[in-house]
Amino acid sequence: MSTTAELKREFGQAGCYKTSEGKNHEWWFSPITGENFQMGRHDGEEVKKGMEMKLRKQAGVPKKR
């Protein structure tokens, strides 16, 4: 599993960027998929496997092996 901070770093390197901030979540945009998606704001939290897979699909960023 990855932390929120690790996913944000990886998605940023892939070209995704934050578009706005809410109270508990940030909105991100992926130029790869053309989708907006939400990510948690708590960088130290572990992201559960199912949620990580969903975020990676929305961002268009596969898991590194």
The string of pLDDT tens digits covering residues 43-54 is 899 999 999 999
CB atoms under 10 Å from CB of 38, counted, come to: 13
Residue range 7-28, pLDDT digits in tens? 999 999 999 999 999 888 999 9
Instruction: State CA 6 to chain mean position distance.
Output: 9
Average pLDDT of span 25-47: 95
Distance in angstroms between the alpha carbons of the first and the last residue of the chain: 13
Q: Is the pLDDT of residue 65 over 80?
A: no
Q: Are 47 and 1 in contact (CB under 8 A)?
A: yes
> pTM for the full model?
0.90
Measured CA to CA, the distance from residue 19 to residue 57 in angstroms comes to 18
**Going by CATH, does the domain composed of 2-59 fall within 3.30.920?**
yes
CB atoms under 10 Å from CB of 47, counted, come to: 21
The full set of domain ranges for the chain reads 2-59
Q: What is the pLDDT of residue 50?
A: 95
Q: Is the pLDDT of residue 30 over 80?
A: yes
